[in-house]
Structure 1
Amino acid sequence: MTTDPLAPSPDADLPPGAHLPHHPEFLWRAPEPKKNYDVVIVGGGGHGLATAHYLARNHGITNVAVLERGWLAGGNMARNTTLIRSNYLWDESAGIYEHSLKLWEGLEDELGYPILFSQRGVLNLAHTEQDVRDSIRRVEANRLNGIDAEWLDPKQVAHVCPIVNTSADIRYPVLGATFQPRGGIAKHDYVAWGFARSASDAGIDIIQNCEVTGFVTDVDRVTGVETNLGRIGAGTVALCAAGHTSTLTDQLGFRVPIQSHPLQALVSELLEPIHPTVVMSNAVHVYVSQAHKGELVMGAGVDSYNGYGQRGAFHIIERQMAAAVELFPVFGRARLLRTWGGIVDVTPDASPIVGATPYENLYLNCGWGTGGFKATPGVGWCLAHTVATGTPHAINAPFALDRFVTGRLIDEHGAAAVAH
């Protein structure tokens, strides 16, 4: 396999003296594609790799190919801010994210691979009276769903994260926050490598630099995919291509209700450990955590225009930094190291699409917006079940494509939990 030449050292985020059990180039096989597979997964990011892992682990299906047009996990999986939480408002959303969080809690042992999962807690700040009302409503909804959630007043916020500016005389005064103690972060590259190693060890083929350029169909079935490496036959196809999903479904003659936008993030220079948790603010579109090796990882709001460019507009970053410095004065002199952008796929109700399509043997997984990373093991589990059995898992059944026809939407817009 080949790795991104600009990627950091594989051991860069591990504690001093610790090393990965193997470097990435030795973690999975690099086979030539076979002519036919029982299942073809399009997209070698976190969701595609997790689906492959659970097809093998839960269902014994190993004649599977994961096709990645670039390098493994080089799309959104390498371009997110690694936040993990499950404190969403609606029952359906809470169900799939809590299922995922429970899997995160045992994933390192399951994969036998370090993923640096750190349950340091997630704070969602409230800056207005309406924020407060919405946040308390969400805390109560979380508790009804058995999800750990607390409402903190400003003094309690300062106790959990002393570096947050809780003064009353700033543009965005902190009136309180929700807190999920079980939330946190994980190392995205290691998560992908762990899933890839597990799938490869089970006999699943992971094929990089393999771009799907078309589909072979027979009435209402997809019988294969055309790629730059040739035609590959498929018994079942699962699309896990995130923001590029619509470019694939357009070739099949049906549309999905998603829009793709750049989402920007950045990291600072290395700093001493000072930030104990994850802090988010939907009102000002900034979220901040500190990675294991010391850099601040910060994200912004979604750029308003549609596009597939993996960068965004400077004014978004400028507003993000202004808000971050106000909320965290201690970081006022920190230097910016680098920025990047991912491609988020947003649906009209800010909830994902996971399930059947107009083609009998074609399944869809897209529309996660800014919530894709945290859902990685959960959606892999549910999509694997859907592919293996031909019927949706109870957890992903509400996220069917036809809800946009029936009106059974899961509207996370304005729920103070949509972003990130």
Structure 2
Amino acid sequence: MPWRLLRFALNKKHPEPRMFSVHEELKPSYDVVIIGGGGHGLAAAYYLAREHGITNVCVLEKGYIGGGNTGRNTTIIRSNYLTPEGVQFYDESVRLWQDLSQDFDLNLFYANRGHFTLAHTDSALRTMRWRAEVNKHYGVASEVVGPEVVKEAAPMIDLSCSGHAPILGALYHAPGSVARHDAVAWGYGRGADQRGVEIHQRTEVLGIDVEGGRVTGVRTSKGRIATTKVLCAVAGSTPSILKMVGLRSPIYIHPLQAMVSEPIKPWLDPILVSGSLHVYISQSARGELVMGASLDPYELHGTRSTLDFVEGLTSHMLEMFPFLSNVKVMRQWAGMADMTPDFAPVMGKTPIEGFYLDSGWGTWGFKATPVCGKTMAHTIATDSPHPLITGFSLDRFRHYALTGEKGAASVGH
């Protein structure tokens, strides 16, 4: 056992501080209350304190820090989206990701791998060219490459996919990366805590008080809080929170499952995604294969795992990589994906004054964690939407001004 770890274990006074302070009781009031202790909620608290000097902030988490979708994703980071709004938004996030370890003084295991979105049909290849041109227009590194480039990057792949769906090319996105999801939550949480933000775990929100069309307080399992600003950042639980303030949204919830294999010798450096086969795969620093697929085809507010998912995903994996037939699946899990009709998020102000929304993240919320925190902190502090999120407003559905991101978000994660 390393001496540093042994010294920590044997010292009753703890030679190093805890990651977060423990607050037994809520204060009577806060300037801002954030519902949801995942990456997005903690990032918003962090940037409110660091960039806007707003430290009288309370983060409420029903479970534990990072126990929701933040800890149930596959950690892919990219910005090769289809719409101008999406490309600029996620490109800013990629830029922020690159400095987070230094900002937090915490190793996030951020690793630049490169991201291939495989094309198995002529129509898919046309979409890749479309995305590449939009990306290049905004200075994002993306290009369409042939199957030989895919083979060079991943020599073990079967380009014919067992003859079922031959790979015709791919969209290569050099900035594609991965990071450790729980460390991201810890880093934002610790940074916010050090600046005076209070984080209350195992504290359930029971209701939100609205008077005269504006927020006045939040009722919790530990008592009532007076506040004039509330941010909802609860992913799959968004519809439940919206009911508390009398709002409706087009968000619908589907399970999204993933799994990992036993650790094996490193052989896959890039991230590979196939929309046609509904699979994506990367290899972790520990050698595990991190794998996922598209949404389960039914609405469900739950995180159960199914055998059907494993059977379907492994069959498609073996079409791409037949040599994996003897590799064991170690565990699987599921998250609740809050989907929107246009596959773009819902961010910003709402018809309820002082109630802000960060939701509709579906399968692509992890990669947006830094930019979400920064833009929502700006929106809350100034009560005005940040320029990067104007295309993601809730009222776009009422005006039929959708941000059509499905072509870049359906299985790319």
The answer, yes or no, to whether TM exceeds 0.5 is yes
> Following the alignment from structure 2 to structure 1, what is the Cα–Cα distance between the partners of residues 132 and 317?
25
> Following the alignment from structure 1 to structure 2, what is the Cα–Cα distance between the partners of residues 172 and 65?
51
Number of the residue aligned with 1:325: 318
Deviation at 1:317, TM superposition (A): 2.6
Deviation at 1:329, TM superposition (A): 1.9
Aligned residue among 14, 19, 26 for 2:18: 26
> Following the alignment from structure 1 to structure 2, what is the Cα–Cα distance between the partners of residues 243 and 30?
26
Name the SS for the 1:396 alignment partner: helix
Deviation at 1:313, TM superposition (A): 3.6
Number of the residue aligned with 2:115: 122
Structure 1 residue runs without a partner (length 5+): 1-10, 12-21
Number of the residue aligned with 1:358: 351
Aligned residue among 33, 52, 60 for 2:45: 52
Give the partner amino acid of 1:244: S
| Residue 233, structure 1, aligned to residue 232, structure 2 | no
Number of the residue aligned with 1:19: none
Aligned residue among 318, 328, 338 for 1:335: 328
> Following the alignment from structure 1 to structure 2, what is the Cα–Cα distance between the partners of residues 41 and 332?
46
Q: Residues 147 and 203 from structure 1, CA distance in 2 versus in 1: closer, same or farther, beyond 3 angstroms? A: same
Give the partner amino acid of 1:173: P
Give the partner amino acid of 1:132: L
> Following the alignment from structure 2 to structure 1, what is the Cα–Cα distance between the partners of residues 408 and 267?
30
Aligned residue among 101, 104, 107 for 1:111: 104
Give the partner amino acid of 1:284: L
Instruction: Decide which moves more: 301-310 or 368-377.
Output: 301-310
> Following the alignment from structure 1 to structure 2, what is the Cα–Cα distance between the partners of residues 342 and 281?
20
Give the partner amino acid of 2:21: R
| Conservation of the 8 A alpha-carbon contact between 2:161 and 2:320 | no
> Following the alignment from structure 2 to structure 1, what is the Cα–Cα distance between the partners of residues 177 and 144?
17
1:305-353 deviation line (CA, Å, top 9, x unaligned): 1112112443233221111111112322110001100000000111000
Deviation at 1:415, TM superposition (A): 4.3
> Following the alignment from structure 1 to structure 2, what is the Cα–Cα distance between the partners of residues 170 and 153?
18
1:267-324 deviation line (CA, Å, top 9, x unaligned): 1111111111111111111110111111111011101111121124432332211111
TM-score normalised to structure 1 length: 0.92
Give the partner amino acid of 1:159: E
Deviation at 1:35, TM superposition (A): 1.3
| Residue 82, structure 1, aligned to residue 78, structure 2 | no
Deviation at 1:417, TM superposition (A): 5.9
1:349-370 deviation line (CA, Å, top 9, x unaligned): 1100001111110000100110
| Conservation of the 8 A alpha-carbon contact between 1:52 and 1:199 | yes
Aligned residue among 238, 248, 256 for 1:255: 248
Runs of 4+ more than 4 Å apart:
22-25, 415-418
| Conservation of the 8 A alpha-carbon contact between 2:278 and 2:411 | no
TM-score normalised to structure 2 length: 0.94
Name the SS for the 1:405 alignment partner: coil
Deviation at 1:416, TM superposition (A): 6.5
> Following the alignment from structure 2 to structure 1, what is the Cα–Cα distance between the partners of residues 43 and 257?
25
| Conservation of the 8 A alpha-carbon contact between 1:300 and 1:317 | no
Name the SS for the 1:301 alignment partner: coil
> Following the alignment from structure 1 to structure 2, what is the Cα–Cα distance between the partners of residues 311 and 23?
40
> Following the alignment from structure 2 to structure 1, what is the Cα–Cα distance between the partners of residues 47 and 299?
33
Number of the residue aligned with 1:314: 307
| Residue 397, structure 1, aligned to residue 390, structure 2 | yes
User: 1:47-196, aligned counterparts within 5 Å?
Assistant: 47-167=40-160, 170-196=163-189
Number of the residue aligned with 2:379: 386
| Conservation of the 8 A alpha-carbon contact between 1:131 and 1:416 | no
Q: Residues 355 and 60 from structure 1, CA distance in 2 versus in 1: closer, same or farther, beyond 3 angstroms? A: same
Number of the residue aligned with 1:14: none
> Following the alignment from structure 1 to structure 2, what is the Cα–Cα distance between the partners of residues 177 and 352?
26
> Following the alignment from structure 1 to structure 2, what is the Cα–Cα distance between the partners of residues 70 and 417?
29
> Following the alignment from structure 2 to structure 1, what is the Cα–Cα distance between the partners of residues 72 and 265?
24
Give the partner amino acid of 1:290: Q
Deviation at 1:98, TM superposition (A): 0.6
Give the partner amino acid of 1:38: D
Aligned residue among 401, 404, 407 for 1:408: 401
> Following the alignment from structure 1 to structure 2, what is the Cα–Cα distance between the partners of residues 90 and 130?
18
1:242-286 deviation line (CA, Å, top 9, x unaligned): 111110111211101100110000011111111111111111111
> Following the alignment from structure 1 to structure 2, what is the Cα–Cα distance between the partners of residues 24 and 265?
35
Number of the residue aligned with 1:280: 273
| Conservation of the 8 A alpha-carbon contact between 2:254 and 2:338 | yes
Number of the residue aligned with 2:9: none
| Conservation of the 8 A alpha-carbon contact between 1:354 and 1:364 | yes
Number of the residue aligned with 2:285: 292
> Following the alignment from structure 2 to structure 1, what is the Cα–Cα distance between the partners of residues 321 and 375?
39
| Conservation of the 8 A alpha-carbon contact between 2:132 and 2:143 | yes
| Conservation of the 8 A alpha-carbon contact between 2:161 and 2:319 | no
Q: Residues 43 and 264 from structure 1, CA distance in 2 versus in 1: closer, same or farther, beyond 3 angstroms? A: same
> Following the alignment from structure 1 to structure 2, what is the Cα–Cα distance between the partners of residues 417 and 319?
17
Name the SS for the 1:110 alignment partner: helix
User: Cα RMSD (Å) of the superposition?
Assistant: 1.7
| Conservation of the 8 A alpha-carbon contact between 2:82 and 2:407 | no
Name the SS for the 1:391 alignment partner: coil
Structure 2 residue runs without a partner (length 5+): 5-13
Aligned residue among 337, 348, 351 for 1:344: 337
Deviation at 1:167, TM superposition (A): 3.0
